[in-house]
Structure 1
Amino acid sequence: MYEFSIVEKLQKLEEDIQRHELKYHQKRVLVSKSFHFDAAHHLHCYEGKCKNLHGHTYQVIFGISGMVDEIGLVIDFGTIKEIWKSEIEIFLDHRYLNETLPKMNTTAENMVVWIYEKMEEALKKQTNDCRIEFVQLYETPTSYAEARREWMSHE
């Protein structure tokens, strides 16, 4: 049986732990955050069910890497959410993708690259030195497209 305990003394900064101890290492770390959105689209030049207007509940997963800062964070998960909400989701959620995205066939393969590029552009505006490592775009729970930094890099 697991024994539960109540914290007796809450750790205090500058008393129980010093500011310089908050950063534990100097390694690159990948953090990941996922989001969902609902959207409609149809495919051109495709002979199958997806040539007709239909919708999906998509899932997007971002992998972002960087060196931890002075308190041990790569990037605040809230910052990733702000970027998603203000710079990417507005073009996707409850939208007709053929209308709101740049001219393209709205395949998962095309969309994942567009989402990757939008996040990459937004991260360049951040003060930390984070970089996008991958984006996965699930069109269904078992089908996804992925864009990776090594495939997208213009370096």
Structure 2
Amino acid sequence: MVRLTKTFNFETAHALHGYDGKCKNIHGHSYKLFVTVKGQPSEDVSDVKLGMVMDFGDLKKIVNEEVVDIFDHAILLNQNSPHKSLGDNLMKEGHQVIFTDYQPSCENMMLWMVDRIKNRLPENIELVALKLHETENSYGEWLAEDNQ
């Protein structure tokens, strides 16, 4: 079994409704996402992916389509909070706003990403871990082994 990890970067703003600190205000982060998958390298000599668990380009395409292209330069707001009206106004002004049904914390963003990425992976590839840095020294981790 071999693990592969690919790193992604995106810029996203959010606000945490009801939070008791500065993050209740709209603010942005330069997120860094680490996606780790595992599988057996192909041993089929006729396979163009011989020796690979998964083509890094295929993983990049999945994560870009399911996460990065959605979140990059967008504002995440909880649709069940008073931020909804602010988001509606921002959308009228042409801003990219994503309304979530969850508090858009690092932890909840990762849980949302897990489902999106897992659903796109080939049958023989397993999502092992996500690590999402909100800042250079603050991050959350999701591990498949903790969620069995």
Q: TM-score range by the shorter chain?
A: 0.7 to 0.9
Q: Which residue of 1 aligns with 2:140?
A: 145
Larger Rg: 1
Q: Does 2:79 align with 1:106?
A: no
Distance 1:152 1:102 in 2: 22
Q: 1:67 is matched with which residue: 29, 40, 57?
A: 40
Q: 2:23 is matched with which residue: 34, 47, 50?
A: 50
Which stretch shifts more, 88-97 or 30-39? 88-97
Q: Which residue of 2 aligns with 1:134?
A: 129
Deviations 1:16-72 (A, max 9, x none): xxxxxxxxxxxx000000000001100012111100000000000011000111211
What amino acid maps onto 2:109 in structure 1?
M
TM norm structure 2: 0.79
State the 1:102 CA deviation: 3.1
The percent identity for this pair of structures is 35
Q: Is the 8 A contact 2:10 2:30 kept in 1?
A: yes
Q: 2:6 is matched with which residue: 30, 33, 42?
A: 33
Q: Is the 8 A contact 1:91 1:101 kept in 2?
A: no
State the 1:101 CA deviation: 5.3
What amino acid maps onto 1:106 in structure 2?
P
Q: Does 2:52 align with 1:79?
A: no
The 1:80/1:101 distance shift into structure 2, 3 A limit, reads: farther
Corresponding residue SS for 2:60: helix
The 1:101/1:137 distance shift into structure 2, 3 A limit, reads: farther
Alignment root-mean-square deviation, CA: 1.3
Q: 1:95 is matched with which residue: 74, 84, 93?
A: 74
Q: State the number of aligned residues.
A: 123
Q: Which runs of 5+ in 2 are unaligned?
A: 44-49, 78-96
State the 1:86 CA deviation: 1.6
Corresponding residue SS for 1:47: coil
What amino acid maps onto 2:100 in structure 1?
P
Distance 1:132 1:90 in 2: 20
Corresponding residue SS for 2:8: strand
Q: Which residue of 2 aligns with 1:3?
A: none
What amino acid maps onto 2:132 in structure 1?
L
